[in-house]
Amino acid sequence: MVNPSKITEGGIEYSIGRFNGFEMFYDFAKILIYLDAKGKLLFGKDFKIYEDDRDIIYKLSNYFIKDFEKCEKAEIDPEKGLLISGPVGCGKTSLMKLLQFIVPLQRPYSVIPCRNIVFGFNHIGFKVIEDYGNGSFFCFDDLGVEPIGRHYGQDCNVMGEILLSRYELFLKSKLKTHATTNLNAEELEERYGNRVRSRMREMFNLIAFDKNAKDKRK
């Protein structure tokens, strides 16, 4: 039987809680130790978990491990996706790449920069919207700062169209979509319009870093 409380990275076994054969009991302090180690493997030896980010990591961890009671207290719906907002360099993308590793038995998602999706549209057209509006799991990175798409002279708000397709999938099959953004709600509405913004409210839990969160890339 697979033991979800033990994860091996680089030949070292990490415990993130206790498994009694039926139920998993997670330990947040152990999760932080694991995330720090996995982060160093993924992003380099300078990666670290910042004290300022512990509250956000705690919320996100509860979401990923599906601790329904703690999610309810934090007003997070585990059936919706995540929209992580915050200033440039605060660590949104790193956390979304990292946190899915604490639940290795859950289906993983791909983190895709929105600007790459638009470049794909410019090259091959509307098939790109179909490709990302399908049943795969995605986290759209840097939502809202991508350029407008243009294919054979036809302009398209590519990510807006993809979000509408993903919304239909969410309604039909509860398929989750995740995203990161530097923009606030008003800026997102300006970028995508009221229709997309209202659907985003239904699709996403908003998890916001403090607007003064420091740039960890410096």
What are residue 103's DSSP bridge partners?
none
* Confidence grade of residue 95 (pLDDT, cut at 50, 70, 90): very high
The one-letter code for the residue type at 191 is R
Of the two residues 87 and 217, the one the predictor is more confident about is 87
pLDDT in tens, 2-61: 788 999 998 999 999 999 988 899 999 999 999 999 999 999 999 999 999 999 999 999
pLDDT in tens, 150-171: 998 889 999 999 999 999 999 9
CA distances from 164 to 132, 140, 168 (A): 11, 14, 7
Mean pLDDT of 54-72: 96
Domain layout of the chain by residue ranges: 73-208
CA-CA distance, 67 to 138, in Å (whole number)? Answer: 22
CA distances from 53 to 35, 62, 73, 100, 210 (A): 12, 14, 19, 17, 9
CATH 3.30.420.10 given to domain 73-208:
no
Q: Which residues lie closer than 8 Å to 75 by C-beta, 6 or more apart?
A: none
Structure tokens at 50: 């910042």
Mean pLDDT of 198-207: 96
pTM exceeds 0.85 for this model: yes
CA-CA distance, 47 to 91, in Å (whole number)? Answer: 10
CA-CA distance, 159 to 95, in Å (whole number)? Answer: 22
Task: Write the DSSP symbol of residue 180.
Answer: E
For 2, the 3-state DSSP assignment is: coil
Residue 1 has pLDDT above 70, yes or no: no
